């Protein structure tokens, strides 16, 4: 089997971590014996049509058993290029965005396989509609690479990052400029709890495990998430995580002592944090749950979906 993965989740200086989750999935799929080529192009509206033209030339020149696209608008480029059979993974913003969302819902009816990174994307969330339940659909997250995300001594992580060894730190892993991530909530929580807020957005992906392990707790205060990869990354590091009930969080955090999945309310969240903020090295038992959602396990699911797609395609022809 030979697959072509198409993505415009490409990193830059502002977002060096962008798209790492796609590449992690690709590497795991390759380890399982599937040949995968990757076609990338930069984000931004002016790049979609040139990408479609380049992709059309590639598809005429080489043969792939299927094309797997990440992100709804990117799939329009693949569709214009004549990609078939076409699998599309929707990641969240491409479903919830007021402009991109309607285009993604139209695209879903034209794809041969519609995949989402969590079931939440098939349902409304925060007054935003989800994707339609098309006949061929699957839940195919991009999980964390457990070779990178694992428990590290908190003192060691803080030393490498130049943080106070006795500090009280909350880690808000998202770009604070993204409005749906709600850094205002995280800032209010830190102020109420007497903690310092550390924020993401321009952290090198190789350093992300250090920032997670350095924190007393990770906080996800989003209005919505497609999957919520950081929730699973924190669990993989056995670091306490507090999250609004978005994306995978209701499943991932259920039954994890010391974790919280609840609508944001500053007093409730602050009370839940006090034990973690006063402990020298607060931890939860999250690694086992994270392993069930790892990049390796999700790659296995993706290959199963590929085979089912190809079986349907052969039957149809």
- Percent of the chain at pLDDT exceeding 70: 100
Instruction: Select, from the ranges 100-104, 120-124, 129-133, 224-228, the one with the highest average predicted confidence (pLDDT).
Output: 100-104
- The domains located in the chain, with CATH, are 2-143+294-316 (3.40.50.2000), 154-291 (3.40.50.2000)
How many other CB atoms are there within 10 angstroms of residue 245's CB atom?
14
Question: What is the token pair recorded at 311?
Answer: 């079986």
Residue 317: pLDDT over 70: no
Interval 252-258 mean pLDDT: 96
pTM: 0.90
Interval 66-72 mean pLDDT: 97
Mean pLDDT, all residues of the chain: 94
- Percent of the chain at pLDDT exceeding 90: 85
Contact in structure between 198 and 211 (CB atoms under 8 Å):
yes
102: region left, alpha or beta (phi > 0 left; psi from -120 to 50 alpha):
alpha
Q: Write down the residue that tokens 């924020």 correspond to.
A: 199
pLDDT the model gives residue 209: 97
Which tens digits make up the pLDDT trace of 177-216? 999 999 999 999 999 999 999 998 889 999 999 999 999 9
């Amino acid at each position: 089997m030979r697959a072509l993965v198409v993505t415009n989740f490409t990193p830059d200086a502002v977002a060096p971590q962008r798209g790492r989750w796609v590449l992690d999935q690709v590497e795991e799929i390759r380890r399982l014996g599937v040949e995968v080529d990757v076609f990338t192009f930069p984000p931004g509206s002016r790049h979609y049509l040139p990408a479609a033209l380049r992709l059309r030339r590639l598809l005429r020149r080489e043969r792939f058993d299927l094309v797997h696209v990440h992100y709804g608008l990117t799939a329009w480029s693949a569709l214009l290029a004549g990609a078939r059979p076409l699998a599309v993974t929707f990641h969240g913003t491409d479903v919830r965005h007021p402009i991109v969302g309607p285009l993604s819902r139209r695209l879903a009816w034209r794809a041969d396989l519609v995949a989402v990174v969590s079931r939440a994307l098939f349902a409304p969330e925060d007054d935003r509609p989800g994707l339609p339940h098309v006949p061929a659909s699957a839940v195919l997250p991009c999980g964390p690479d457990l070779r990178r995300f694992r428990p590290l001594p908190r003192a060691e992580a803080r030393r490498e990052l130049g943080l106070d060894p006795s500090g009280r730190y909350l880690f808000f892993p998202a770009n604070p400029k993204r409005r749906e991530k709600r850094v205002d909530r995280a800032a209010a929580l830190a102020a109420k709890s007497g903690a310092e807020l550390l924020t993401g957005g321009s952290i090198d992906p190789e350093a992300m495990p250090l920032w997670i392990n350095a924190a007393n707790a990770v906080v996800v205060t989003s209005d919505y998430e497609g999957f919520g990869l950081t929730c699973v990354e924190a669990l993989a590091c056995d670091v306490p995580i507090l999250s609004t009930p978005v994306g995978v969080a209701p499943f991932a955090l259920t039954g994890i002592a010391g974790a919280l999945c609840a609508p944001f309310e500053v007093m409730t969240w602050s009370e839940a944090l006090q034990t973690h903020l006063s402990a020298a090295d607060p931890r939860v038992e999250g690694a086992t749950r994270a392993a069930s959602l790892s990049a390796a396990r999700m790659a296995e699911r993706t290959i199963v979906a590929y085979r089912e797609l190809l079986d349907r395609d052969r039957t149809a022809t």
